[in-house]
Structure 1
Amino acid sequence: MKILIVEDEPELRHVIKSFLERELYIVEIATDYESGLAKISSYSYDCILLDVMLPGGSGMQLLSKLRELDKSDSVIIVSAKDSVEDKVQGLELGADDYLAKPFHLSELLARVKTVIRRNNQHNRSDAALAFKNVRLYPEDRKLMVNGSEVLLNRKEYDLLYYFMIRPEKLVPKTSLAEAVWGDDADQADSLDFIYSQIKNLRKKLKDSKAEIDFQAVYGVGYKLV
């Protein structure tokens, strides 16, 4: 899962980024209004941590732009401004939550998990993603096939998660690379690394007798069938 931090304070930005990466999230950063706008315009995120006071503009303006783009990325406003008016404005603009500085990292993590889970329309009441005889548990990053756990590495899990929330939908290789490897993936010379990861994941699914598989669409991408 991919998170964008829009924050101009270098130390806080570094602390949050390091913490979330230890929790196995893909984390990208923007340091001002313009870089934040470029990010949200070009990419999608599972959650955006958005500061209100930014060089060149405000987090509220970015939130408005995000909704104008008709994007459903979860947004948590993270701000030193803890007034009722700011909270109301943020929520009316479409923010999912509002967290006042200073805060504990454990609370931030809990908020991130909550808004991602809430925004994932495919989640069932038992917090599992299910497709045929496969179940994926995002909270525990665990894959179960026919009731037995199948061990995945980090990238294999992230790949499968991305497909499980959009089963039977064609996923272009470029979108897949950006979602799982971050937007720096578009600078790679080729996307052959996606084929390698899909191949490894497909073998694990076959060995576990999973009823799902990846269908390749030549020159475009893959779909989970």
Structure 2
Amino acid sequence: MKILIVEDNSALSASVRDYLEAEHFICTCAFGVDDAREKLSLFTYDFVLLDMMLPDGDGLELLRFIKTEKIIANILIISARDALDDKIKGLEGGADDYITKPFHLPELHARLRAMYRRNSLQGSHIITANEIELNTNTIEARVHAVLLDITPKEFDLLLYFIVNKDRVLSRQAIATHLWGDYTDNLANFDFIYQHIKNLRKKIAAAGGNDYIETVYGLGYRFKL
């Protein structure tokens, strides 16, 4: 999952980025309103961690931009200010949650996972698609109750397909979701095919059906 960290404190931004990347998130940092607005206009993110006080504006200004442009992302406001009216303004402005500095990184991680379960997974950490079952807490995938030996990237790929079932996902969208914005500069996406091939092979070996359809010229679709 991809996260945009909008925080002008470079030390805090780096600390959050390093921790979340160790938890298999793809992180991009922005250090001001203009920087964040440009990234949000060019790329998609699952989460936006939004500082309220930025050198060229405030978090509420960027929050209004996100809502005006109908950008879909889970928004967590982070701020040193713990006044009740700041929380209310952020939540009423469309933020999903609010955390006050200083905070513990495991708490931040837990809040992100809770937001994702609530907004994308109907509140559950167990996701099923016929005989396939994913546990987003343990990062485990099972087919007919058989535990699959898959990598974290393969788990994220399968989760991405299931959450977006029946939608055609381009190779560009898959690459960017799993590996970050730098993939825009790649000449080809042949590695996507290899990851999907490996995932199909492992599901089939456990007796599962192949729900991943190749949509020629467009990408892939998870079709139940």
**Equivalent residues of 2:6, 2:51 under 8 A apart:** yes
User: Could you tell me which residue of structure 2 aligns to residue 111 of structure 1?
Assistant: 111
User: Could you tell me which residue of structure 2 aligns to residue 86 of structure 1?
Assistant: 86
Q: How many residues align?
A: 223
Runs of 4+ in 1 over 4 A off after TM superposition: none
User: Could you tell me which residue of structure 1 aligns to residue 45 of structure 2?
Assistant: 45
Report percent identity of matched pairs.
38
- Pairing partner for 2:187 from 189, 201, 214: 189
**Equivalent residues of 1:205, 1:213 under 8 A apart:** no
User: Could you tell me which residue of structure 2 aligns to residue 217 of structure 1?
Assistant: 215
The SS at the match of 1:211 is coil
The SS at the match of 1:44 is coil
CA distance in 2, matches of 1:179, 1:123: 20
One-letter code aligned to 1:58: D
The SS at the match of 2:213 is strand
User: Could you tell me which residue of structure 1 aligns to residue 3 of structure 2?
Assistant: 3
Q: TM-score, normalised by structure 1?
A: 0.94
CA distance in 1, matches of 2:129, 2:209: 9
Superposition pairs of residues 1-225 of structure 1, within 5 angstroms: 1-120=1-120, 122-123=121-122, 125=124, 127-225=125-223
Report the CA distance between 1:51 and its aligned residue: 0.4
CA distance in 2, matches of 1:26, 1:224: 23
For residues 26-83 of structure 1, give each alpha carbon's deviation from its aligned partner in whole angstroms, at most 9, with x where no partner exists: 1111111111112222222222110011122221111111111223311110011111
**Equivalent residues of 2:117, 2:123 under 8 A apart:** no
1:147 to 1:123, Cα distance in 2 relative to 1, 3 A: farther
CA distance in 2, matches of 1:116, 1:28: 18
Bigger shift: residues 204-213 or 184-193: 204-213
- Across the aligned residues of Structure 1 and Structure 2, the Cα RMSD in angstroms comes to 1.3
CA distance in 2, matches of 1:9, 1:222: 39
The SS at the match of 1:112 is helix
One-letter code aligned to 1:22: A
For residues 96-116 of structure 1, give each alpha carbon's deviation from its aligned partner in whole angstroms, at most 9, with x where no partner exists: 111111111121111111111
Name structure 1 gaps, 5 residues minimum: none
**Equivalent residues of 1:8, 1:31 under 8 A apart:** yes
CA distance in 2, matches of 1:77, 1:12: 14
Report the CA distance between 1:153 and its aligned residue: 0.7
Report the CA distance between 1:217 and its aligned residue: 1.3
One-letter code aligned to 2:158: L
The SS at the match of 1:193 is helix
Report the CA distance between 1:124 and its aligned residue: 6.0
**Equivalent residues of 2:76, 2:96 under 8 A apart:** yes
The SS at the match of 2:15 is helix
**Equivalent residues of 1:50, 1:76 under 8 A apart:** yes
CA distance in 1, matches of 2:87, 2:48: 16
One-letter code aligned to 1:112: L
